Homo-oligomer: A and B are copies of this chain.
Amino acid sequence: MPRTEEQNQQIRDERQEQILQAALKVFARRGMAAAKISDIASEAGLSHGLVYHYFKSKEEMFTTLVKKALQGSALVIQYARQQAGSPLQQLRWMTQMILQNIAGEGAYLFLIMIQAFTSDAVPEEVKQMMDDELAFSAIKATLPLIEAGQQTGEILQDDPEKLAVLYYSLIQGLAISKIQWKDCPMPDADMVLRVLKARPES
């Protein structure tokens, strides 16, 4: 008779991913509010009706992307803390991962996160997530790393929270710069870490 359940599942997985990728680009470029379902559909190369076969609403799509971004950032920090080496070396590894990410398609996810953080025009569920502990989990999760680095003297003696804000501000800012100016000269990890290091070489 028709396709097996297995085949259908595969089609569905592919379509869902295809739609999410398209939504990511469109949301990043136009913002959640200005993004039209028809934009997303045509970016994905299918009809707008099909989008609703896979997602309940525009809000659900956006929320899904925010969750993915949050998971991703949590993962990077987790891996960083599993790396061998001093706290500063772990931070360097993490920074390299992030910069590499920003250089590619990853910058879109940063824009989504920035929208989630700064815009009121975002689904209620996203606002909730941003208010909850999740919101600053990246900063919070990085604090132990910074504090450990201060112990070893590799990192500047200053309020760790302030340092974390400085660090993530720079990262976010770089993601934005990368998007506004495709060929902007990007710094390397050690350049970024100058805001944290006790005694930058050079």
Contact = CB atoms under 8 A, between A and B. Distances in A.
Contact of A185 (B33, B161, B194): B161
A176 interface: yes
B176 A114 contact: yes
Contact of A168 (B130, B161, B177): B177
Contacts of A121: 29-31, 33-35
A159 interface: yes
Identical subunits present: 2
A187 B173 contact: no
A137 to B, nearest CB: 13
A198 to B, nearest CB: 6
Nearest to A198: B202
B162 A173 contact: no
Q: List 5 A-B pairs, minimum CB-CB distance, nearest first.
A: A173-B173, A169-B173, A34-B121, A33-B34, A162-B185
30 contacts: A29-B119, A29-B121, A30-B33, A30-B120, A31-B34, A34-B120, A35-B121, A114-B176, A118-B176, A118-B180, A161-B184, A162-B187, A162-B191, A165-B181, A165-B187, A166-B170, A166-B174, A166-B191, A169-B174, A169-B176, A169-B177, A170-B170, A170-B195, A171-B173, A173-B174, A191-B195, A194-B200, A195-B195, A198-B202, A199-B202
